[in-house]
Structure 1
Amino acid sequence: GYKEGRVVAFEANLTRQGFTRGDRGTVIGVRDGKVELAMPNGEVRRFDPDRLPRNLKHDAVTIFERKEIALHQGDRIRWTAKDGERGLLNGDIAHVARIDGDTITVTAGDGKLHDLSRGDPMLERLDLAYAINVHVAQGMTAKNGIIMMSERERVLNTSASFLVAVTRIAENATLVTDNSDRVERQVDTRSGAKTSALETSRGDTNGDRPNQQEVAAMSDDPKKLAEKLGPEFALAVLTNKERDITLEKSLYRSEPGRDSGEREMDRERQLERERDLERGRDLERGR
């Protein structure tokens, strides 16, 4: 919200209120529903959030808090807003390549170097990225990772979010928690699937939810997974199975002494799992 001390950055022209894209001011108070902003030139101006055009309700302004960050060469950072012209996208990961006086050079996700000099707006749109939440992690992959889950965050501890976290890590995943038994129960009993209004009115939000054992039993049937959990969740399960396939292939190559019958059965199992994975992808594409 518009708390005192926060910065309001205007991302669109609001002609009727006298603000243009690029303007920014610091919140000094809220009176009669209008936000009082201290502008860089010392002027105090009033902004009315209720007068935002309907099509810009969520895109006209960005609200953020000032925070000092000490950056060093090699630091991993992520963008908290985008710069479309330079291809720097919200949530993307970058690295500090070097620091030279008032200029910080970063290596973007595509490998391009960008010089950010003092006053560059992207210097206010970044944060350290050594720890990120599951929402931000979607679409990323890391070789090693640490997953932190607390029993106090029971609403967030769902099988869906856990699967997303696990499938972001290619090799070594470590889970750190303050209460392993309780977190396991929370993940086991909460799917994380969105609940429809009809389900809520019937009180069906818990009764039809599969636990981990049921998910495991359905993991060989992509159609059942998609019907029960939705295409995205089913794909997450199948993607995790793909990692198992890769691991099995590497183990198979390391055991040349096995007889031909065992190898043939392994090949059939691998082919069947790969077909399951492809059917899961077809379900996702057909949504």
Structure 2
Amino acid sequence: LAFSTSVLAACSGTSASSSNESSATESSTTTELIATTSSVTTTTAKLPLTGKVVAIDAGHNGGNAAHSADINQLVDAGNGVTKACDTSGTASNDGYPEYEFTLSVAKNLQALLQAQGATVVMVRTDSAGWGPCITQRAKIGNDAHADIAISIHGDGNDSPGTRGFHVLVPQTTNVNAAIAPASNRFGTMLRDSFLDTGMPVSNYLGTNGIMPRGDLGGLNLSTVPKVFIECGNMRNGYDAALMKSVLFQRSAAAAISRAITQFLT
């Protein structure tokens, strides 16, 4: 009986030791897994545009036509140019307004950029008011210290057969010499990306879809890299049909987003 008790005690001691070792191993493994998971989460959290600021200017506004006295006041557009505060914009032949198109593209673009981590500053988020003036549109991007700013438009050329998109970039002048090289570089990226929308390059303005301008307040007054894009000619039936399409508006936003990501990363 004494022998049996000793044997049982010895067996019991061995089992307790094994159990302690097993628990220690499991605890160590669990700690390592938690640490590894935490490390992976931290590594994958950063998005490509984190820390970047983008200013989006949806051209014109829904109330501009009813505020002609306000938008026609003259302002300093920079580079020795004086221009009206803003304009009412154009529309397709069947009445689809430019300001509605530009806001749709702008909002789609905003969502895409925010999903990549960017801070997005919108010049306008609805079409209820008038303006702002071209001076204020530029100031919004400047005050935000935007890494890139873009103004979205649709052209309104009545000449037969004129169609396609073009990117407006600042001429290199004393007033914007600092931003012109970066703006022109981004303009080329945007032109290349926008070809994927199915909209052809303009056959009536610019060269290969790029047109330098020295008379636009939005470019002259900008202290951050900036371009305009005329996404198509709304007076052309083919272009207008595309521009009224929700699919094209999303495609246009995606093309602009790709160019911005390429430029900023």
The alignment's TM-score, normalised by the length of structure 2, stands at 0.22
| Higher strand proportion (structure 1 or 2) | 1
| Higher helix proportion (structure 1 or 2) | 2
Higher alpha-carbon Rg? 2
Highest RCO, 1 vs 2 (Cα 8 Å, sep ≥ 6): 2
The alignment's TM-score, normalised by the length of structure 1, stands at 0.21
